[in-house]
Amino acid sequence: YETYGKFANTIASTFSASVKKDAFYAQARHYSSALAASLDGDNVPLTVYHQLIKTVRRYLPLFYRYLELRRRMLKLDELHMYDVYVPLLPESQQKYSYQEAKQTVLQAIHPLGQQYAQILANGLESGWVDVYENKGKTSGAYSSGVDGSAPYMLLNYQENINGVFTLAHEAGHSMHSYFTWHNQPYVYGNYRIFVAEVASTVNENLLVDYLLSKA
C-alpha cells in the first residue's frame, strides 16, 4: 500500500472534510453522534455496532494464529498482504455436476426446516436459476428479483466445490427475498444491507457442516 503514502495529505484532508460533514449533519438533525445518524437508517442499535467491534477484537488472537500457520505452511520469513490469498493446499479436482450441487445444497440446509427446503427445491426446478456461462453474461453470481416475482439467481456455474458454495450462498439470498416478499407488505418488502449477507453465509456454514459430516 506504499503508493497511498504518496497521497497522505490529500487523503487526510478528504477524510477530515468527510468527518466534519458527518458531524454537521448529525448535529443539524439532532442525533447524539455521527455514528448514531449513520446507523439510524438501518435501525441498528449502537450497542450492536460496538458489540461487533468488541467481538472482532476479542478473537484477533485466533486470526493471528491462522496467519502464523499460513506463514509457516508457505515457508516464508515474512507474510505480506498478497500471501493471504495464496492457496495453502492443492485445489480439489473433484467434479460436481449441477444436479449434484443442487442435491448437496438441499441436504445441507435441512436444519432450516421442511418448508424452507421444499420451497427452495421447487424453486431450483422451476426456473429460478440461470446456471451456466453464456455469451455476454455478467461474470460472478447474483440474486435478484422484485416483489411479486420469484427470486432469480444468475450463476456462472463451474463443476467444482466453489460452484456448490456459490449456489448455497445465492440460494440464501433468494430465500431471504422470497420470505420477505411473502410476509411483508410492499413498502417493507426489502431488507437492510446490515442483514443482507446473513442468510447467505448461514447457508454456506450449513454446507460446511454437512460436507464435514460426510468427509
Q: Give 92-101's long-range contacts (Cβ < 8 A, gap of 24+).
A: 92/160, 92/161, 94/160, 94/161, 95/159, 95/160, 96/159, 96/160, 96/161, 96/163, 96/164, 97/159, 98/131, 98/132, 98/157, 98/159, 98/163, 100/164, 101/157, 101/163, 101/164, 101/167
Distance CA 173, CA 64 (A): 31
DSSP annotation string for 64-109: HHHHHHHHHHTT-SS--GGGGGS-SSPPP-----HHHHHHHHHHHT
Distance CA 108, CA 116 (A): 12
Residue 41 in contact with residue 55, Cβ under 8 Å?
no
By annotation, the residues acting in catalysis are 170
Grid coordinates belonging to 128: 429460478
